[in-house]
Structure 1
Amino acid sequence: MISELLNGKTLDLLSPVRHDEINQFIEYIAQKAKDGRFVELEAELMKLSRNSMLRMFMSKRTSEDDGLGDITKIITEAAEIVGRFNLSDHIWFCKNLDLQGFAKKSKDIHRRFDALMETLITDHEEARKQETREAKDLLNILLHISEDESMEINLTRENIKAFILDILVAGTDTSAITIEWALAELKNHPNIMNKAVEEIDQVIGKNRLIQESDTPNLPFLQAIVKESLRLHPAVPLIPRLSTQDCTVGGYHIPANTTTLVNVWSLGRDPTHWENPLEFRPERFDGKQLDVRGQHFHLLSFGSGRRMCPGASLGLLMVHTTLGATIQCFEWKARNSGNLDIVDMEEGVGLSLPRANPLVCVPVA
């Protein structure tokens, strides 16, 4: 996945897709601003993220009348069921019982997703035979790999479907949720918002939209994303399976035991962070703290061989979308009748959603 699908060359090849989706998102928000209407940012950011992923993978959008209408529901249901506590997984005498109906629901999700993917793969195969288009999406790359007999691993049709489901579930709402949390924090800290906008104006100006290539020149925007990931990690608990007996914090962990690394708690640990509950991006000034698993008190994408393979793609999406959103608009938040303060209550899920979706009025 890292070497073929999510490497720098492939991500660069697909950057026009992401840029076009952000443009469409900004145009939609601009129309809302013109009409003075509220925007449900959670829903719109989810739509942006999913359309970007779908176009990169299959050259399709959920808004098209092409049978993809059910994909959003499938992704949501899959992410929800993965994040639920399953008695059959953890209590031995329940292992053969479907007490909560998860097995039945999982099979239904699998059946629907399999049928959808079978149609899309067949369409891609027919297009490849007719050579009607150049291979410019990730599904075509996967099909090419599966046909390459020199490959070390034989990539099956089931493998391809699993790859796509994994990335769609793991890479869509996590990016959207991260952007939503960052916007909420910026709304509650107008001085930080103003500083971020000032940096964008100085580096980019007011005549063009922020690009992915601008991110290295925007250190304060990067610090805002790091601080948001610290306080609001998209995946608050990282599961791992112990490969051998070991001792952690004085506790004996047998081999083959599922453990959960509490990323949420690490990001708020006063041992490592000064005033950990404060949203203060300046804490990263002059510090080479990375979110890619090298510093164990900031494990936004996990660490080691099992860290998130989509870290680079996720960071590209988050930085550029967040930057464009504050570059083009001021935001008036709506929260229980209070237009000044956004509540920061957390919801429940595999990812870390807001309990109350962010609803704002954009001002161009």
Structure 2
Amino acid sequence: MELAWSFFVWSAGICLSVVLVLQLLQVKARNSSRQLPPGPPRWPIVGNLFDLGKAPHRTLAGLVQKYGPVIWLQLGAVNTVVIQSTKASRELFKNHDLTYSGRTITEVMKAGSFDQGSMAIAQYGPYWRKIKRIVVTELSGSKQFNETASMRKRSVDKMIQWIDEEAQAKGRVCLANFVFLANCNLVGNLVLSRDLLDPQCKEGAEFLNAMEGLMIGGGKPNVADFFPILKWLDPQGIRKKMEKDMGHAMQIVSGFVKERIAKPQSGERKERKDLLDVLLEQEDTREDEPDKLLERDMISLILELFMGATETTSSTIEWAMTELLRDSKTMSKVRTELAQVVGENRRINESDIEKLPYLHAVVKETLRLHPPIPFLIPRRAVEDNNFMGYFIPMDTQVFVNAWAIGRDPDSWDDPLSFKPERFLGSDIDYGGQHFELIPFGAGRRRCAGFTMGHTVLHLALGSLLHCFEWELDEPITPENIDMEERLGITLRKNVPLELVPKTRDVFNKK
């Protein structure tokens, strides 16, 4: 029996190796007659998988000097191109945006059928255009955006209150958790017309843990993505774990949605439609679905909005505070500006944001050095094409290394230093028109929540700096603060930032 099992395993291994080799030979034969971009030597079968290291955004950035800004990788059976300079990103977004408008959908994104309702990873087409139009109109349209200013202010004010209460009770706070909760409630109001969480509620801790699992698991390299023939095996168990984490997160969101549908108006006339109202009214344009959007799709989309709003904002604010606490002069400058523009008699309002150029510069510099999604969301070539003199086959996966582009020495002086002053008097911003700074992406697949994210980042960070004095928790000092990164779907601090806030007089002002 044991001999028979050994023979079976040996035979299966041989067959699998033959299939993989044939796949790679077929790809090589197809591409051999045309010039691919340069890249590091590839191992048989696995290609460049072992070249990525624990921090692929850093590892690949280090290859630019040897191979140039457009690098070819063979990740198992998956053709991959990495874009790593301002010049190359400009060429991609200005001249090849439609050609690279497809998405690479990983196995973990299929967990819970999340990909079926997602906007960010939907393939370019009628469904994506429809959902993006709805989201942009309802969250960023000028009329709707102005109407929701009070929601953003209330969410930030509650965050400030929670931080003060936590500081009085425990002396220190984990900053990112409170930014996360505030943004959850903001999305909850925009989507479901209600606050969802507070620091003491059980759902808040569960949702935070579920989101943490999604963001970490979603960024793990998965052998099944590199060798599609192995999908059914799920050799690392990543798909199985993500089914659990995704299922838990979707269950929580589903509970919010079902409660909202069951009690749509609580007997009172609503002042405004929320996003769920609008989604429930829509007809689906996909031929393989019923007339109405499936509840599954709505839950996926709403979960995606929570993920996008909470993770990117909390990560960016945590990195901004880290950089400011390492540089007392920069901290002093931004707080002096707040005191001069906002004053000591009230808190910051959205109308103040455009009058705070140094705060803008701090946010830009943070996003330059610490883009929340270092490779953006991978694109896919929808047809064979020529890119900067190189042949790129259809279905090639495309990584845009925003982390490396933010450190491109051809675009930035002293690129490794945190210097907000570089943006003073500069028209460079991250709206998608300046390709040296693209934390939100660019082109037709730029982040749909850009306007909301931009406003909340400045309002929340400005409020934190204006309402509190901040100190590092001993024995941490500006010189030894941990700057290690943890790469999941987003680029978080490996060690969460714990701080000691001291309330200022302006805290009691509205």
For 2:346 and 2:414, how far apart are their aligned partners in 1?
37
One of 188, 196, 206 as aligned partner of 1:61: 196
Q: 8 Å contact 1:335–1:359 — kept in the other structure?
A: no
Counting aligned pairs with the same residue, the percent is 32
- What are the equivalent positions in structure 2 for 1:92-103 lying under 5 Å apart? 92-103=228-239
CA apart distance, 1:340 = 5.8
* Partner in structure 1 of residue 343 of structure 2: 205
* Partner in structure 2 of residue 10 of structure 1: 144
Q: Which deviates the most, 331-340 or 158-167?
A: 331-340
For 1:97 and 1:228, how far apart are their aligned partners in 2?
41
- What are the equivalent positions in structure 2 for 1:52-91 lying under 5 Å apart? 52-58=186-192, 59-63=194-198, 70-91=206-227
CA apart distance, 1:274 = 0.3
CA displacement 1:59-100 (0-9 Å, x = unmatched): 132238696663333322222222121211111331322112
Q: Which deviates the most, 51-60 or 131-140?
A: 131-140
CA displacement 1:255-280 (0-9 Å, x = unmatched): 11111100000001111000001111
Q: 8 Å contact 2:186–2:195 — kept in the other structure?
A: no
* Partner in structure 2 of residue 295 of structure 1: 434
Could you state the TM-score of these two structures normalised by the residue count of structure 1? Answer: 0.90
For 1:266 and 1:230, how far apart are their aligned partners in 2?
8
For 1:187 and 1:104, how far apart are their aligned partners in 2?
40
One of 172, 175, 184 as aligned partner of 1:41: 175
CA displacement 1:308-345 (0-9 Å, x = unmatched): 00111111111011101111222111365436653322
C-alpha distance 180-104 of structure 1, shift in aligned 2 (>3 A): same
CA apart distance, 1:147 = 7.2
Residue type matched to 2:496 in 1? P
CA-atom RMSD in angstroms: 2.6
The structure having more radius of gyration, on CA atoms, is: 2
* Partner in structure 2 of residue 228 of structure 1: 366
Residue type matched to 2:399 in 1? L
Q: 8 Å contact 2:163–2:178 — kept in the other structure?
A: no
- What are the equivalent positions in structure 2 for 1:1-364 lying under 5 Å apart? 1-32=135-166, 37-58=171-192, 59-63=194-198, 70-128=206-264, 131-134=267-270, 136=272, 138-146=274-282, 154-238=292-376, 239-248=378-387, 251-334=390-473, 336-338=475-477, 342-364=481-503
C-alpha distance 56-137 of structure 1, shift in aligned 2 (>3 A): farther
Could you state the TM-score of these two structures normalised by the residue count of structure 2? Answer: 0.65
CA apart distance, 1:135 = 5.8
CA apart distance, 1:130 = 6.4
C-alpha distance 183-147 of structure 1, shift in aligned 2 (>3 A): same
Q: 8 Å contact 1:231–1:267 — kept in the other structure?
A: yes
C-alpha distance 338-117 of structure 1, shift in aligned 2 (>3 A): closer
For 2:252 and 2:170, how far apart are their aligned partners in 1?
38
For 1:276 and 1:339, how far apart are their aligned partners in 2?
20
Q: 8 Å contact 1:62–1:71 — kept in the other structure?
A: no
C-alpha distance 192-65 of structure 1, shift in aligned 2 (>3 A): closer
Residue type matched to 1:183 in 2? M
- The alignment partner of 2:181 has SS state of helix
For 1:4 and 1:25, how far apart are their aligned partners in 2?
24
- The alignment partner of 1:56 has SS state of helix
For 2:482 and 2:474, how far apart are their aligned partners in 1?
7
CA displacement 1:135-175 (0-9 Å, x = unmatched): 646344334533799xxx85332331121011111221110
C-alpha distance 65-359 of structure 1, shift in aligned 2 (>3 A): closer
Residue type matched to 2:189 in 1? R
Q: Which deviates the most, 260-269 or 21-30?
A: 21-30
Q: 8 Å contact 1:142–1:160 — kept in the other structure?
A: no
C-alpha distance 66-14 of structure 1, shift in aligned 2 (>3 A): farther
Residue type matched to 1:15 in 2? A
Q: Which deviates the most, 322-331 or 17-26?
A: 17-26
CA displacement 1:218-254 (0-9 Å, x = unmatched): 1111111001000010111121111222344554321
For 1:186 and 1:60, how far apart are their aligned partners in 2?
31
Residue type matched to 1:62 in 2? L
For 2:296 and 2:268, how far apart are their aligned partners in 1?
25
Residue type matched to 1:119 in 2? G
* Partner in structure 1 of residue 6 of structure 2: none
C-alpha distance 250-335 of structure 1, shift in aligned 2 (>3 A): farther
- The alignment partner of 2:399 has SS state of strand
- The alignment partner of 2:499 has SS state of strand
Q: Which deviates the most, 343-352 or 139-148?
A: 139-148
For 2:446 and 2:353, how far apart are their aligned partners in 1?
22
Q: Which runs of 5+ in 1 are unaligned?
A: none
C-alpha distance 228-130 of structure 1, shift in aligned 2 (>3 A): closer
For 1:98 and 1:299, how far apart are their aligned partners in 2?
34
Q: 8 Å contact 1:230–1:267 — kept in the other structure?
A: yes
C-alpha distance 244-56 of structure 1, shift in aligned 2 (>3 A): same
For 1:66 and 1:361, how far apart are their aligned partners in 2?
25
- The alignment partner of 2:264 has SS state of helix
- The alignment partner of 1:322 has SS state of helix
Q: Which runs of 5+ in 2 are unaligned?
A: 1-134, 286-290, 504-510
Q: 8 Å contact 1:293–1:307 — kept in the other structure?
A: yes
